[in-house]
C-alpha cells in the first residue's frame, strides 16, 4: 500500500457511494475514511449498506479490496507476534452455507473444560510456548468487520467477492500471521455454490493477501457430500482425534494432509508437498501430533485425556440406525439435509443465543459411490430421544439419493491457487 493518502480530505459519503455506483475506483484514502467513519459511528448504516450494494454490483479492484481489508484490519487490535519465533501460519475454511450447524469452536468446546476465549496476551503467550492456539475471534479484532458483516447479513450484500475477501483477510491479518491457507469449499451445500464463484474468491484472497505481503494459498475443495463420516460436535472431534492416531475416514485424512502440507510449505518448513506430507505422516506415526493436541487442550483448560480416550467426550444415550429402504449405489448425499438432520437432533442452533448439545449427531455409514443393499444402515443417529430421531431419520433419508450405478469419483482437492511469493 504505497499510495496511502490518509492526510488528504475525501469527498462526502454520498459522492463516494455514487462514484462506486458509477463504476469508479475508490482511492485507499477514501476507503479508509469510509471504514473509519463507519466504525466510529459517524457514517450511518444506511449509507454503508447502499455502498455495499453498489460494491455487490460493481465489484472492486484488488487494490480497492486490499485497502478495504487493511482498513478493516486496522479498525481494532493488530496482534504483535514479533515475540514469537518462527513463521505464523493460519488456516481458514469458507465452510457451509447453513449458518448454525455448529462451527469449529462448538466442536472444540465438546472437549470438557476447553475454553476458546482468550486475551490477546494469553494467545501470543500460548503460541510462543506450545506453537499453536485454537481460539474464537476476540471483540477487539477487526470490529469494523463485525459491524459490516451484521449489516450485510440483513441487506442482501453477503455474496460479494471483495466484501467476503476483506471480511476473511482482515481478521486473519489482525492475528499477526505470515501465511494463510484457505480452504474454499465448492458445492450445493457450501457457501460457494459454483466452481466459478469459488475460484473468484480464491483468486481474490490470494491476490489481496499477496498485496498485503503475506504468503497465501487457496484450495478449492469439493463439498458434494459431508466431509468424513461424523456430523455433530463431539462426534467430529472424536473423528479428528482418529486422524491424529493414524486412522479416520479417507476423505478427511486426504483434505487434512493437503491443507497441512500447504501450511508447512508456506511456513517454509518443507520445500515440496511431498516433503511436507512425509513430515506430517511422521508426526502422526511418532505420536507428536497427538502430543501437540494434548498440549493445546491442556493449555486451554480442557481434558487432554480425551485425545487417547475419546469415550471421555460427551456421548448420546442412544444410537438409532437409519436403514436403506431399497438397494442401489449412493449417487448423492445432500449436505444441507444432513446438516438439518443434525440440527434436528440438537447439534446446531436456530438462534445465536441457543445452547447446543455436544453429544448428539450422526455417523454416515455410506458415502458417495458406496453400494447399498435394502435394510443396510445408511447412518447411525446419536440421539437423546425418539421424537428428534424420527425427524432426523426423515431428513437423512431425504439426503440420500440412490441410483443403479455409482457416480464417477471427483477429486476432493479440485485445484490449488498460490500467490507469486508463495
Q: Would you say 194 or 272 has its CB closer to a second copy? A: 194
Question: How many residues belong to the site for a second copy (CB under 8 A)?
Answer: 25
As measured in angstroms, the least distance from the Cβ of 160 to a second copy is 10
Distance CA 272, CA 361 (A): 38
Of 414, 103, 142, nearest in space to 258 by CA:
414
Q: Would you say 52 or 322 has its CB closer to a second copy? A: 52
As measured in angstroms, the least distance from the Cβ of 153 to a second copy is 7
Query: Does residue 152 carry a catalytic annotation?
Result: yes
Report if residue 309 touches a second copy, rule: CB under 8 A: no
Residue 308's contacts (CB-CB under 8 Å, 6 or more residues apart) are 245, 290, 294
Stretch of 52-60, 82-90, 175-183, 268-276 lying at the interface with a second copy (CB under 8 A)? 52-60
Pairing between β-strand 328-333 and β-strand 371-372 as defined by DSSP bridges: antiparallel
As measured in angstroms, the least distance from the Cβ of 143 to a second copy is 17
Beta bridge partners of 67: none
Whether residue 401 contacts residue 265, with contact meaning beta carbons closer than 8 Å, is answered with: no
Q: Would you say 40 or 403 has its CB closer to a second copy? A: 40
Q: Tell me which of 153, 250, 286, 309 binds a second copy, using CB under 8 A.
A: 153
| Helix, strand, or coil (residue 160) | coil
Q: Catalytic residue among 21, 36, 91, 92, which?
A: 92
As measured in angstroms, the least distance from the Cβ of 58 to a second copy is 9
**In the numeric block, which cell numbers belong to residue 68?**
478495504
Q: What secondary structure letter does DSSP report for 158?
A: -
Query: Does residue 145 carry a catalytic annotation?
Result: yes
Q: Catalytic residue among 145, 251, 334, 357, which?
A: 145
Q: Would you say 52 or 179 has its CB closer to a second copy? A: 52
Residue 301's contacts (CB-CB under 8 Å, 6 or more residues apart) are 113, 114, 115
Query: Does residue 100 carry a catalytic annotation?
Result: no
Report if residue 52 touches a second copy, rule: CB under 8 A: yes
Whether residue 173 contacts residue 70, with contact meaning beta carbons closer than 8 Å, is answered with: yes
Q: Tell me which of 1, 84, 151, 283 binds a second copy, using CB under 8 A.
A: 151
Cα diameter, the chain = 72
> In the range 11-50, which residues lie near a second copy by CB under 8 A?
13-15, 17-18, 21, 44-50
Q: Catalytic residue among 20, 147, 171, 336, which?
A: 171
Cβ neighbours of 14 (radius 10 Å) = 11
Whether residue 117 contacts residue 134, with contact meaning beta carbons closer than 8 Å, is answered with: no
Q: Tell me which of 6, 8, 23, 57 binds a second copy, using CB under 8 A.
A: 57
> In the range 154-173, which residues lie near a second copy by CB under 8 A?
154-157
Count Cβ neighbours within 10 Å for each residue of 199-236 and write b for 16 or more, e otherwise. Answer: bbbbbbbbbbbbbbebbbbbbbbbbbbbbbbbbbbbbb
Whether residue 26 contacts residue 64, with contact meaning beta carbons closer than 8 Å, is answered with: yes
Q: Would you say 11 or 134 has its CB closer to a second copy? A: 11
As measured in angstroms, the least distance from the Cβ of 328 to a second copy is 36
Residue 281's contacts (CB-CB under 8 Å, 6 or more residues apart) are none
Whether residue 354 contacts residue 331, with contact meaning beta carbons closer than 8 Å, is answered with: no
Q: Would you say 15 or 250 has its CB closer to a second copy? A: 15
As measured in angstroms, the least distance from the Cβ of 11 to a second copy is 11
- Name the residues annotated as catalytic: 92, 145, 152, 167, 171
Residue numbers at the binding site for a second copy (CB under 8 A): 13-15, 17-18, 21, 44-54, 56-57, 151, 153-157
Amino acid at each position: 500500500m504505497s499510495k496511502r493518502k490518509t492526510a488528504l480530505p475525501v469527498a462526502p459519503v454520498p459522492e463516494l457511494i455514487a462514484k462506486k455506483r458509477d463504476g469508479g475506483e475508490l482511492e485507499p484514502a477514501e476507503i479508509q475514511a469510509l471504514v473509519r467513519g463507519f466504525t466510529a459511528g459517524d457514517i450511518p448504516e444506511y449509507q454503508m449498506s447502499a455502498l455495499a450494494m453498489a460494491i455487490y454490483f460493481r465489484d472492486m479492484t484488488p487494490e480497492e479490496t486490499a485497502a478495504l481489508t487493511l482498513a478493516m484490519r486496522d479498525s481494532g487490535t493488530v496482534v504483535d507476534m514479533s515475540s514469537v519465533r518462527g513463521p505464523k501460519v493460519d488456516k481458514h475454511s469458507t465452510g457451509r452455507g447453513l449458518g448454525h450447524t455448529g462451527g469449529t469452536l462448538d466442536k472444540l468446546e465438546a472437549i470438557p473444560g476447553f475454553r476458546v476465549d482468550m486475551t490477546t496476551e494469553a494467545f501470543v503467550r500460548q503460541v510462543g510456548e506450545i506453537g499453536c492456539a485454537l481460539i474464537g475471534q476476540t471483540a477487539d479484532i477487526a470490529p469494523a468487520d463485525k459491524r459490516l458483516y451484521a449489516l450485510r447479513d440483513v441487506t442482501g450484500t453477503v455474496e460479494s467477492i471483495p466484501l467476503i475477501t476483506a471480511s476473511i483477510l482482515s481478521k486473519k491479518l489482525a492475528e499477526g500471521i505470515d501465511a494463510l491457507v484457505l480452504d474454499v469449499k465448492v458445492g450445493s451445500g457450501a457457501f460457494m455454490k459454483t466452481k466459478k464463484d469459488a475460484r473468484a474468491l480464491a483468486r481474490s484472497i490470494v491476490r489481496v493477501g499477496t498485496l498485503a505481503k503475506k504468503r497465501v494459498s487457496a484450495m478449492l475443495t469439493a463439498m458434494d457430500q459431508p466431509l468424513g463420516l461424523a456430523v455433530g460436535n463431539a462426534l467430529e472431534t472424536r473423528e479428528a482425534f482418529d486422524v491424529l492416531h493414524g486412522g479416520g475416514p479417507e476423505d478427511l485424512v486426504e483434505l487434512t494432509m493437503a491443507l497441512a502440507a500447504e501450511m508447512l510449505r508456506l511456513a517454509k518448513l518443507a520445500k515440496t508437498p511431498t516433503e511436507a506430507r512425509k513430515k506430517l505422516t511422521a508426526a502422526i506415526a511418532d505420536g507428536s501430533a497427538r502430543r501437540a493436541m494434548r498440549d493445546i487442550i491442556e493449555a486451554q483448560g480442557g481434558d487432554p485425556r480425551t485425545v487417547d480416550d475419546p469415550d471421555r467426550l460427551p456421548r448420546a444415550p442412544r444410537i438409532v440406525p437409519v436403514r436403506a429402504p431399497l438397494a442401489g449405489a449412493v449417487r448423492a448425499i445432500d449436505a444441507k439435509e444432513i446438516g438439518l438432520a443434525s440440527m434436528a437432533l440438537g447439534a446446531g442452533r436456530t438462534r445465536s443465543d441457543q445452547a447446543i448439545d455436544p453429544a448428539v449427531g450422526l455417523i454416515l455409514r455410506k458415502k458417495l459411490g458406496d453400494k447399498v443393499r435394502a435394510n443396510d444402515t445408511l447412518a447411525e443417529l446419536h440421539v437423546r430421544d425418539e421424537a428428534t430421531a424420527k425427524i432426523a431419520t426423515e431428513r437423512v433419508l431425504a439426503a440420500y439419493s440412490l441410483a443403479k450405478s455409482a457416480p464417477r469419483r471427483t477429486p476432493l482437492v479440485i485445484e490449488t491457487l498460490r500467490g507469486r511469493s508463495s
